[in-house]
């Protein structure tokens, strides 16, 4: 049986944790207003303000660790969380307001603060500290952005951040961190895509989506990919491929994809295969097979309608055939893996959709190529075979008619 979720102790939350957190927030506001007041009235020098900020943040971290040893759990976590926020704010002020540190130095400092927050969160069993470390970690790149594209540095940092988050998720069972990490990751990817995507960055985009689909899929596969997968891990693992499809939609109208069919098809099938893998591992997610098939069909059809030519016909036919095979076989496999095997008659839809794609070469008068007819014949044969397996006479008739 599925584990019974723990009930919230509202008395403990309202009487202890809430007021402790409000006290920590008030402490942070006091520090922020003190810095602002000292700045407005020039009471202390900028260097002393920064030194006081770092000293205060580190002092709160040390105080939180000391209080933890005396069993003041809520207070210690609140002090550590407040210290983390103050250290982030001071690091940012060093660079943006006072120009004491360069981008690289500030980036290193904020990365160390993030690592310290994660370490304290695990050691103190403090989720609020982990969340603050996560938020600060993902806000560091945009706050320190120079407007220059540095994808290796940016996404190398985000990858390390994600691996740390997923390691904590694995160790502590804090599934919400995986979802928050996925949200931060896709927002970073979308922001980079909107700011820097160009024909010369095609390989970079493909590498980014390939690298970041993998860790979330592995967490789903190893850390909750059974019949009782945690919904937050499932959402996290499914979100990254969805954005991959979104990138395909974002570039499908661009002229440069016409001469890079392999690149575009790889991008599309990467998102599709990730969803198929999730459905194979957890058959209850069979809806991902249909969703992935629908999005892949739409993108293949859209690309072919705009860019299909004699030069890229061969790769296009290969993509059509791969689509037909994947989405004819996957529903059957997923249905057989369910505890109570279900009918997979709906799988017959995909050979028919694949045959519809072959109308595009014919409409562009490319149908005289022998490859078109051979590939269409293979898909028709697959559709007839699938109809025999599922016992669907209408599907068999449709495959024969379309052939």
CA 189 to chain centre: 9
Tokens read off for 288: 């991902």
User: How far is 182 from 192, CA to CA, in rounded Å?
Assistant: 15
What's the pLDDT tens digit per position in 112-170?
Answer: 888 888 888 888 888 878 887 888 788 878 877 778 888 888 898 889 889 888 988 88
User: How far is 94 from 199, CA to CA, in rounded Å?
Assistant: 37
User: How far is 99 from 304, CA to CA, in rounded Å?
Assistant: 52
Q: What is the pLDDT of residue 13?
A: 46
Q: What is the pLDDT of residue 180?
A: 94
Domain ranges of the chain: 13-146, 293-403
Is pLDDT above 70 for 174?
yes
Minimum mean pLDDT range among 2-11, 94-103, 113-122, 175-184: 2-11
Residue 389's pLDDT band, with cuts at 50, 70 and 90, is low
DSSP state of 144: T
Other residues' Cβ atoms within 10 Å of the Cβ of residue 185: 26
Q: What is the pLDDT of residue 14?
A: 47
20 SS3 class = helix
CA nearest 367: which of 298, 323, 403, 313? 313
330: exposed, middle or buried (C-beta count within 10 Å: 0-12, 13-18, 19+)? buried
**Interior/surface letters 164-174, b for 16+ CB within 10 angstroms, e for the rest:** bbbebbbeeeb
In which residue are the tokens 């691996």 written? Answer: 163
What's the pLDDT tens digit per position in 331-372?
Answer: 877 777 776 656 555 666 777 788 778 778 777 766 556 666
Is pLDDT above 60 for 225?
no
Is pLDDT above 80 for 318?
yes
**In residues, how long is the chain?**
403
- What radius of gyration, in Å, describes the C-alpha atoms of the chain? 27
391 vs 115 pLDDT, higher one: 115
What's the pLDDT tens digit per position in 14-26?
Answer: 444 566 556 656 6
Residue 251's pLDDT band, with cuts at 50, 70 and 90, is very high
Q: Report angle CA 187, 268, 236 to the nearest 5 degrees.
A: 40
What's the pLDDT tens digit per position in 84-101?
Answer: 878 887 887 787 777 888
Residue 2's pLDDT band, with cuts at 50, 70 and 90, is very low
In which residue are the tokens 């003041």 written? Answer: 72
Instruction: Give the torsion sign (CA, 174, 180, 184, 190).
Output: positive
Whether 390 contacts 343, CB under 8 Å: yes
Q: What is the pLDDT of residue 3?
A: 44
Question: What average pLDDT does range 374-386 have in this prediction?
Answer: 68
Q: What is the pLDDT of residue 4?
A: 45
Q: The pTM is what?
A: 0.78
**Interior/surface letters 367-397, b for 16+ CB within 10 angstroms, e for the rest:** eeeeebeebbebbbebbbebbeebebeebbe
Tokens read off for 124: 């103190």
Other residues' Cβ atoms within 10 Å of the Cβ of residue 310: 11
Whether 78 contacts 100, CB under 8 Å: no
Question: What average pLDDT does range 60-81 have in this prediction?
Answer: 80
CA nearest 386: which of 360, 330, 341, 348? 348
CA nearest 212: which of 248, 243, 172, 173? 243
In which residue are the tokens 């370490």 written? Answer: 119
């Amino acid at each position: 049986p599925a584990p019974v979720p723990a009930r919230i102790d509202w008395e403990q939350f309202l009487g202890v944790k809430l007021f402790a957190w409000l006290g920590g927030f008030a402490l942070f506001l006091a520090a922020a207003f003190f810095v602002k007041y000292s700045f407005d009235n020039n009471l202390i020098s900028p260097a002393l303000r920064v030194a006081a900020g770092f000293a205060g943040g580190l002092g709160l971290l040390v105080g939180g660790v000391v209080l933890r040893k005396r069993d003041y759990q809520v207070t210690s976590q609140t002090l550590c969380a407040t210290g983390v926020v103050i250290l982030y704010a001071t690091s940012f002020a060093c660079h943006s307001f006072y120009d004491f540190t360069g981008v690289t130095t500030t980036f290193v400092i904020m990365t160390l603060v993030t690592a310290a927050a994660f370490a304290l969160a695990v050691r103190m069993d403090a989720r609020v500290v982990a969340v603050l470390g996560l938020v600060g970690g993902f806000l560091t790149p945009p706050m320190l952005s120079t407007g220059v594209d540095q994808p290796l540095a940016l996404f190398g940092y985000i990858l390390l951040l994600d691996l740390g988050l997923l390691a904590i998720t694995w160790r502590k069972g804090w599934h919400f961190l995986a979802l928050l990490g996925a949200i931060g990751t896709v927002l970073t990817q979308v922001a980079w895509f909107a700011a820097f995507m160009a024909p010369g960055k095609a390989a970079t985009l493909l590498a980014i989506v390939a690298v970041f689909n993998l860790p979330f899929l592995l967490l789903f596969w190893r850390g909750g990919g059974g019949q009782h997968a945690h919904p937050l891990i499932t959402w996290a693992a499914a979100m990254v491929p969805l954005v991959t499809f979104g990138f395909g939609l974002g570039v499908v109208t661009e002229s440069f994809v016409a001469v890079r069919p392999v690149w575009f098809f790889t991008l599309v099938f990467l998102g599709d295969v990730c969803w198929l893998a999730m459905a194979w591992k957890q058959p209850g997610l069979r809806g991902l097979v249909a969703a992935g098939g629908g999005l892949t069909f739409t993108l293949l059809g859209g690309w072919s309608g705009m860019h299909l030519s004699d030069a890229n016909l061969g790769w296009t036919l290969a993509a059509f055939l791969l689509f037909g095979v994947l989405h004819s076989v996957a529903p059957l496999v997923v249905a057989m893996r369910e505890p109570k095997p279900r009918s997979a008659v709906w799988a017959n839809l995909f050979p028919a959709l694949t045959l519809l794609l072959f109308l595009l070469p014919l409409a562009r008068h490319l149908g005289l190529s022998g490859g078109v007819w051979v590939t269409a014949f293979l898909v028709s044969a697959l559709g007839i075979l699938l109809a025999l397996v599922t016992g669907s006479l209408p599907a068999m008739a449709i495959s024969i008619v379309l052939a």
